[in-house]
């Protein structure tokens, strides 16, 4: 199972800081779709978030992910 950690607005939209997902053979886009199923707010946040897989940024939605990986969902942060 892939461990998915949500931060800031993503955690608020997901209603949790962490979940697990069977991501075997799925692309990044498919994982994002599964995470957002039935939760339009989370889908919106996922669409603008950065994804880190095992600590490395992944932006190519066609990248296939494996089950042992960890994904961090980092929504845009405001700061100054």
Which domains are delineated in the chain? 2-74 (3.10.20.30)
- Going by C-beta distance under 8 Å and a sequence separation of 6 or more, which residues neighbour residue 43? 32, 36
Could you give the CA distance from residue 45 to residue 22 in angstroms, rounded to a whole number? 21
How high is the pLDDT of residue 68?
A: 72
* pLDDT tens, position by position, 63-73: 999 877 899 99
Answer whether residue 79 shows pLDDT above 70. Answer: no
The pairing of strands 2-6 and 70-74 is parallel
pTM of the predicted protein model: 0.91
7-42 confidence digits (pLDDT tens) = 999 999 999 999 999 999 999 999 999 999 999 999
pLDDT of residue 12: 97
């Amino acid at each position: 199972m892939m461990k998915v950690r949500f931060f800031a607005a993503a955690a608020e939209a997901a209603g949790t800081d962490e979940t697990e997902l069977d991501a075997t053979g799925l692309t990044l886009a498919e994982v994002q779709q599964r995470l957002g199923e039935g939760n339009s707010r989370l889908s919106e946040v996922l669409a603008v978030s950065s994804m880190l897989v095992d600590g490395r940024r992944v932006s190519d939605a066609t990248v296939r992910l494996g089950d042992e990986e960890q994904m961090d969902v980092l929504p845009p942060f405001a700061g100054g």
